[in-house]
Amino acid sequence: MVARFLHPQIFRMDLELSPKPYNPRSRFERAGLSPVQERWFNAVTAALVALFLVGWGYALARTVRTGEVPPLLAGTATANPLSSEAPPPNVYLLDAALRAFTGREFRGQSGAVNVVVQAPGDTLAAPDSLPADARLRYGATASDTAPTPRAPGIWNVMVAMKGAVRSVPNLSVVTLVPLSEKRAGRIGTYRIGSWPYESGGRPRSPQYAPPPGLVRVTPQNMNTQVSEHFRLRDFLTKGQQDVWPKYVAMSPRLLDKLELTIQELKASGIPVEHVGIISGFRTPDYNAGGGNTGGRGALSRHMYGDAMDWYVDNDRNGSNDDLNKDGRVNKEDARVIGLAAERVEKKYPELVGGIGLYNPTGAHNGFVHIDTRGYRARWGW
């Protein structure tokens, strides 16, 4: 073997048969990058990818922490910042400001309340996290706003900042009609009656004082979603079908307790897709003489807007569902709702009140009464 490589003729043949490296004649014939250039290219590409991943990671983390990204923000995030149609920077600030209205002072413990009820002349307390140059406005549309609600009614809440105006999603301010507008037990042609202690005297607790005012309900606003599962029309008193406007008392604290009860039911594996309403607000006039007055107290919480008789009606057949899955619909199904409401009261003592269970009757297959009277009361158990 050594001799083969030492032989001159064989050595020359090996060299002639070996492939020769290609040496390009000019730089235009050279393909690819040099090793140094390739290292720089890889480094820059890795840095860009890392920057992209960090940005998306931050955006996803913020979405998980604060909730779903508003559609406008999603659009502005992909907009060309150099475009003439690109949004101004304050749009991003407005999106952040709107998220300040997700707190308990506006949405309740449940996070599902959509209204703030206030007396005439009152304004909404702005959240502390709102930017100093942001202002609250009220109106039907973003182009028609005022610094305070102009009259009793239901108003959208707007945030204005540096010329831009945005509506707070799923939040309305309800400005009440004062009881002083009532004449001979009516407001306009709508018959209401009078509350105990309205003409004087001292009730046993503040919860039994006459309401500060009433919500004016019209055919145009009656479908307002006052919470996730309830509408303004759910509080209407029976009767006087053709008389408009109508008037109701309505308590956001009750809405909060109802929504928390529904959340408890869902947490225990009972879906709630639709609710049936027996009775919401009852005017003092109706409470005294309308329909079947059996079982009504002279100080019924329905007169104060913080009581609701209702049931779960996912199949929309007009009666309570078989919630305990025993093949029958009776008071035991109402008890399932009542027990969920009891768990809510244990978690949130400030929402304590009455929980009553009712047997099926000719008109209703069982229901539950829930109120926020301020002290514990139970019946029908």
pLDDT digits (tens, 9 = 90+) for 41-79: 788 888 888 887 877 676 666 655 554 444 444 444 444
- Whether residues 168 and 212 share a domain: the answer is no
Q: What is the mean pLDDT of residues 308-323?
A: 95
pLDDT exceeds cutoff 60 at 259: yes
Instruction: Note whether residue 345 is domain-resident.
Output: yes
Instruction: Note whether residue 169 is domain-resident.
Output: yes
Q: What is the mean pLDDT of the chain?
A: 84
pLDDT exceeds cutoff 90 at 302: yes
Query: Prior bond to 206 cis, omega within 30?
Result: no
Instruction: Note whether residue 254 is domain-resident.
Output: yes
Provide the pLDDT for residue 338. Answer: 98
- Whether residues 184 and 170 share a domain: the answer is no
Question: What percent of the chain stands above pLDDT 70?
Answer: 78
- Whether residues 92 and 231 share a domain: the answer is no
Q: What is the mean pLDDT of residues 368-374?
A: 97
- Whether residues 290 and 336 share a domain: the answer is yes
Which tens digits make up the pLDDT trace of 103-122?
A: 888 999 999 999 999 987 78
Which tens digits make up the pLDDT trace of 317-364?
A: 999 999 999 999 999 999 999 999 999 999 999 999 999 999 887 667
**Domain hosting residue 235, numbered range:** 177-196+204-379
Question: What percent of the chain stands above pLDDT 90?
Answer: 54
Provide the pLDDT for residue 371. Answer: 98
Greater model confidence, 288 or 62: 288
Number of domains in the chain: 2
| d(C-alpha 167, C-alpha 141), whole Å | 8
Instruction: Note whether residue 284 is domain-resident.
Output: yes
- Whether residues 254 and 186 share a domain: the answer is yes
Instruction: Note whether residue 52 is domain-resident.
Output: no
Beta strand pairing status for 354-358 and 367-371? antiparallel
Instruction: Note whether residue 79 is domain-resident.
Output: no
- Whether residues 167 and 216 share a domain: the answer is no
pLDDT exceeds cutoff 80 at 138: yes
- Whether residues 154 and 188 share a domain: the answer is no
Provide the pLDDT for residue 101. Answer: 86
Provide the pLDDT for residue 200. Answer: 87
- Whether residues 299 and 165 share a domain: the answer is no
Instruction: Note whether residue 60 is domain-resident.
Output: no
pLDDT exceeds cutoff 90 at 185: yes
Instruction: Note whether residue 244 is domain-resident.
Output: yes
CA distances from 268 to 1, 30, 147, 212, 264 (A): 87, 71, 44, 38, 6
- Whether residues 154 and 183 share a domain: the answer is no
* CB-based contact 183:177 (threshold 8 Å): no
- Whether residues 157 and 262 share a domain: the answer is no
Provide the pLDDT for residue 2. Answer: 44
pLDDT exceeds cutoff 60 at 5: no
Hey, how many other C-beta atoms are within 10 angstroms of the C-beta on 351? 23
- Whether residues 160 and 189 share a domain: the answer is no
- Whether residues 186 and 331 share a domain: the answer is yes
